[in-house]
Structure 1
Amino acid sequence: MNAIDQTELLRALPYARRYARALTGARDSGDALVAAALSAPLPEVPARLALYAAVARAVPAVPSDTGLDTMQRNLLLLTALEDLTLGDAAIILDIDRAVAEREVEAGRNALRATAATEILVIEDEPVIALDLKRLVETCGHRVVGIASSEAAAVRLAAEKRPGLILADINLGRGGDGSHAVARIQEVMSVPVIFVTAYPERLLTAEGVEPAFVISKPFEPLALAIATFQAVHGARVLPAA
């Protein structure tokens, strides 16, 4: 490991874990990817960028029949989900800025052409729930239900059998979104994206953690790429 400040590395770790999980499509393989990245030499760039770069190098390229290749996934996740500049993303992936611009545009076009899925929204704030509905429908998906409580979420999931769940954590008097998701996943296998203002609180290495986390407030593109990865993302392990 290089001379990057260890405190800065620890501060960047939750974000690298979120990126790795979204990149691989699963919690365990994402965490294994971060472990592999930490065991390799890190580039001489700021700690957060160095961790992202090591993660990107550690994941093997996976052929995709969805039209969105590994480079494009990396760029979209870094710029939309991780909220980095395109210039920083180019540094992380060790490519020219012009190449990054071209590939990010190709990735956006590929996202628009991907197959739609049916989505259950778990959110107790009506305005936020309607905003989520509007955004996912803009991405071409269909919202089959909006649940404001644990009980409603479990009931709607059983009725509608969604292909994806978007869930807030705090449902106020309606309970806990993570508890609702746990109950749903006891009876069906469905990818879940958690939407929260405090993503680092879900990536503490304590208890059961989600594979996909989006920060509030978020851009439509962040939701689009997270949705794509949750539904179509290749489940891969780090290269040996």
Structure 2
Amino acid sequence: MSVSQLVASHLPLLRRYARALSGSQQTGDTYVRATLEAALADDGLRGEIAEGRVALYRAFTALWSSSALEIEPVGGQAGGHEAAASERLASVTPLCRQALLLTTLEDFSVEETATILDMSPEQVEDLVREAVAEIDRESTTRVLIIEDEPLIAMQLEDLVRGLGHDIAGTAATRTQAVDAVGEVTPGLVLADIQLADGSSGLDAVDDILQQFDVPVIFITAYPERLLTGDRPEPTYLVTKPFQEASVRAAISQALFFNSSKPL
């Protein structure tokens, strides 16, 4: 496999991580693109990322940690969640969140994460504990769950309540989702892509976002379809079948960048 093919095979997941880390599709994708451009200009770096996924994330992390790229909002003006993400990034270096996302959402081992972050495994474990403690201190919000599989919906409800949040409602179809937000305004949405009546979670979320700005986490068995970087795509994606730790980390990161959290 050539270097370009190897890197291309890992790009969707790197985009997922970059978007979750930055709280923005646009910012995350810009950092991924800058990583590739740096590799094109540096034969040594290109050789390093050819070693595999860990090396690619290590190169991305080096760029993320050492620079602040100028991100021009699409259309010249950022939306509510994008603006909140940019403001939070300006004052926070979420190293503990990097460790948490790498070991949960991206499923790297502690040792692999230590290589990516250029630190010891013991330091990574300390950072993960710090991030988990931070989650425990987070403000609560109301969560709308859009999921057509009853058992998965119940699992998500238990997980959300276990984090101290309230359930704004559950929906198995696009129509039910729109009806639910008409009754209770959520502070976060967890959404499947394929819904019970053949409708789309993407369409349901579009309907909701036309009414108000709210962070959304999509849970899908095919994340690579929404990680192309070719069009407006979700910022937060969790792969089915999911690990509860991955969902917890995604929820925490979405709320970290959210400027409004209904009680």
TM-score, normalised by the number of residues in structure 1: 0.88
Give the equivalent residue in structure 1 for 2:38. Answer: 40
1:64-213 map, 5 Å: 64=92, 70-213=94-237
The separation in 2 between residues aligned to 1:149 and 1:234, in whole angstroms, is 25
Q: How far, CA to CA, are the matches of 1:70 and 1:171 in structure 2?
A: 34
Task: Output the CA distance in 2 between the equivalents of 1:15 and 1:108.
Answer: 23
Give the structure 2 partner of residue 29 of structure 1. 27
Q: Which runs of 5+ in 2 are unaligned?
A: 40-44, 69-88
1:238 corresponding residue in structure 2: none
Q: Which residue does the alignment assign to 1:18?
A: 16
* Counterpart code for 2:53: R
1:6 counterpart residue number: 4
What SS does structure 2 have at the residue aligned with 1:162? coil
The root-mean-square deviation of aligned C-alpha atoms, in Å, is: 1.9
Asked if the contact 2:135–2:252 (Cα under 8 Å) also holds between the matched residues in 1, the reply is yes
For 2:197, give the aligned amino acid.
Answer: R
The answer on 1:55 being equivalent to 2:68 is no
2-structure distance, mates of 1:138, 1:38: 40
Deviations 1:17-59 (A, max 9, x none): 0000000001111111111111224372533222222322233
* Rounded Cα–Cα distance in structure 2 between residues aligned with 1:161 and 1:20: 28
SS in 2 for 1:124: coil
SS of 2:219's equivalent in the other structure is strand
Could you tell me whether the CA contact under 8 Å between 1:196 and 1:215 is conserved in 2? Answer: yes
Secondary structure of the 1:146 match is: strand
Q: Is the 8 A contact 1:44 1:50 kept in 2?
A: yes
Equivalent pairs counted in the alignment come to 228
d(CA) in 2 for partners of 1:234, 1:168: 21
Amino acid at match of 2:48: E
Equivalent residues of 1:5, 1:47 under 8 A apart: no
SS across alignment from 2:107: coil
> Conserved in 1, the CA contact under 8 Å of 2:217 and 2:236?
yes
- Partner SS for 1:143: strand
Query: Identity over aligned residues, as a percent?
Result: 40
1:125-174 CA-to-partner distances (Å, cap 9, x unmatched) read: 11110111101111121111001100110111232110000000000315
Q: Does structure 1 retain, via aligned residues, the 8 Å contact 2:142–2:168?
A: yes
Corresponding residue SS for 1:89: helix
Distance 1:84 1:62, change over 3 A: farther
Give the conservation status (yes or no) of the 8 Å contact 1:165–1:192: yes
